[in-house]
């Protein structure tokens, strides 16, 4: 069964690997670098795609659980970025049922270009599940895409305000809300921009 929100990714996997892997993770996440712990930590990368970010975290000494429901992305990513610090998991939002059953909590929960694939009901369902996965004082970090939807994909236009309100209901307090243009010229010309959101968990 295809996971809702992953439409188009399997068909375009080869091209997506070329695009994502050519763009360094440190550049993609410049706005949130100060929220990534310096000391080795537990990081959850939801919608890990090509594994670029998971490999970047692992190279810094972090232990990573990389969640990716699309076989055409996850399997090549595992081959491209072999690391004893990365555990790959076939699971998906909004439920994250396999992950939640393990009872783990993470220092950082990352969602890069993931949240906008969920419709309003799925977002309401997903936020409590994310909150349950981050430790007290840990961070949930989101990079949300805005702009034209590529053919064959499923995306929604999501406001920062709505996401912040959903997070507050789960004791996730906003610490970053920054809208940026795409760093890639082709995307900029197409009207694509991004919102960087980050929340810190106050949950006991």
pLDDT tens sequence for the chain (204 residues): 445 444 445 566 667 767 776 677 888 888 899 999 999 999 999 999 889 999 999 999 999 999 999 888 899 899 999 999 999 999 999 999 999 999 999 999 999 989 999 999 999 999 999 999 999 999 999 999 898 887 777 889 999 999 999 999 999 999 999 987 766 666 656 668 889 999 999 987
Give the pLDDT of residue 5: 47
> β-pairing, 193-201 with 134-146?
antiparallel
CA–CA gap between residue 153 and residue 164 (Å, rounded): 25
List the alpha helices (DSSP H) in 60-119. Answer: 71-80, 97-101
- For residues 192 and 153, the answer to whether their CB atoms sit within 8 Å is no
Other beta carbons less than 10 A from residue 148's beta carbon: 10
Q: What pLDDT, on a 0 to 100 scale, did the predictor assign at position 33?
A: 92
Counting Cβ atoms within 10 Å, is residue 25 exposed (0-12), middle (13-18) or buried (19+)? Answer: middle
Give the ranges where the chain is alpha helix by DSSP (H): 13-21, 25-28, 52-59, 71-80, 97-101, 120-131, 160-168, 185-189
Q: Look at residue 152 in the predicted model and tell me its pLDDT.
A: 78
pLDDT of residue 40: 97
Domains of the chain listed by start with CATH number: 13-201 (3.40.50.150)
């Amino acid at each position: 069964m295809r996971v809702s929100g992953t439409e188009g990714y399997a068909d375009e996997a080869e091209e997506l690997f070329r695009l994502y892997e050519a763009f360094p993770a440190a550049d993609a996440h410049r706005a949130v670098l100060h929220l990534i712990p310096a000391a080795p930590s537990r990081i959850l990368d939801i919608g890990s795609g090509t594994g670029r970010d998971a490999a970047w975290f692992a190279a810094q000494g972090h232990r990573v659980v990389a969640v990716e429901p699309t076989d055409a992305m996850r399997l090549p990513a595992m081959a491209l970025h072999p690391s004893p610090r990365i555990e790959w998991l076939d699971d998906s939002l909004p439920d994250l049922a396999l992950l939640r059953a393990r009872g783990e909590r993470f220092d950082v929960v990352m969602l890069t270009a993931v949240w906008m694939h969920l419709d309003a009901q799925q977002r309401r369902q997903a936020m409590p599940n994310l909150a349950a996965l981050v430790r007290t004082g840990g961070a949930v970090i989101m990079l949300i895409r805005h702009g034209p939807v590529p053919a064959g994909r499923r995306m929604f236009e999501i406001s920062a305000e709505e996401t912040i309100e959903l997070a507050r209901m789960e004791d996730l307090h906003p610490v970053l809300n920054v809208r940026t243009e795409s760093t890639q010229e082709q995307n900029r010309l197409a009207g694509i921009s991004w919102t960087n959101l980050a929340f810190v968990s106050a949950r006991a």
